[in-house]
Chains A and B, each alone.
Chain A
Amino acid sequence: MTRQKRKPAPHPDPLPLGLLIIDGLEGEIARVELPSGVTQDIALSQLPAGLKEGDVLLVTEAGAVIDHTETQRRREGAQTQLDALNAQAPSGEIDL
Chain B
Amino acid sequence: MTRWLTTGLLLLASTAAAQGNLIIRFLDVGQGDAVLITSPEGKSLIYDGGRSETRMRELIQQYQIKNVSLVAASHADADHITGLVPVVEQFRPQLFLNNGLAGTTRIWSKLTSAAQQAGTKGLVAQDQVINLGSVKVTVIPPPPGMKAGEQNTHSVGLLIQYGTFKALMTGDSETAETEGWLKTYPASALGPIDVYKSIHHGAKNGDHPAWLSAVRPSNVVISVGPNNYGHPTTQALALYAKAGAAVYRTDLNGTVTVTVQPGGQYTIKTERGKSTPTPTTQPRSQSTPLVIPATPPAGVNVSYANCTAVRAAGKAPIRVGEPGYSRKLDRDGDGIGCE
Contacts and interface: CB of A to CB of B under 8 A. Distances in A.
Do chains A and B stick together as partners?
A: yes
Interface of A: 21, 23-24, 26-27, 29, 31, 33, 37-39, 41, 52-56, 71, 74-75, 78-79, 81-82, 84-90, 92-96
A51 B112 CA distance: 25
Contacts of A39: 51, 78-79
Interface string B61-97: 0000000011000000111000000000000001110
Contacts of A41: 228
A82 B104 contact: no
B109 A85 contact: no
Interface stretch (B123-131, B155-163, B251-259, B267-275): B123-131
B112 A85 contact: yes
B227 to A, nearest CB: 8
Nearest to A72: B104
B131 A95 contact: yes
B98 interface: yes
B132 A96 contact: yes
Given A27-B229, A78-B112, A81-B109, A93 B104 contact: no
A93 B78 contact: no
Given A33-B105, A33-B107, A37-B107, A89 B121 contact: yes
B229 A29 contact: yes
A78 B123 contact: no
B78 A82 contact: no
A92 B15 CA distance: 34
B100 A21 contact: no
A33 B81 CA distance: 13
Given A23-B78, A29-B229, A33-B107, A96 B121 contact: no
B102 A75 contact: yes
Contacts of A88: 121-122
Given A78-B103, A95-B131, 14 more contacts: A24-B77, A24-B152, A27-B230, A29-B228, A33-B106, A39-B78, A56-B104, A81-B113, A82-B122, A85-B120, A93-B128, A94-B130, A96-B45, A96-B94
B78 A31 contact: yes
B173 interface: no
A81 B102 contact: yes
| Interface SS of chain B | mixed
A10 to B, nearest CB: 16
A68 B107 CA distance: 20
A56 B106 CA distance: 11
| Interface SS of chain A | mixed
B115 interface: yes
Contacts of A54: 103-105, 149, 151
Contacts of A31: 77-79
A79 B112 CA distance: 10
B339 interface: no
Given A78-B112, A93-B131, A96-B45, A86 B78 contact: no
23 contacts: A21-B104, A23-B105, A24-B152, A27-B229, A29-B229, A31-B77, A33-B106, A37-B106, A39-B51, A53-B150, A53-B151, A54-B103, A81-B102, A82-B102, A84-B116, A86-B124, A88-B121, A89-B123, A90-B95, A92-B128, A93-B130, A94-B129, A96-B45
Contacts of A92: 128
A17 B133 CA distance: 49
Contacts of A95: 131
B43 interface: yes
Contact of B123 (A29, A38, A84, A90): A90
Contact of B98 (A24, A33, A56, A86): A86
B108 interface: yes
Contact of A38 (B121, B132, B332): B332
A24 B78 contact: yes
A95 B152 CA distance: 28
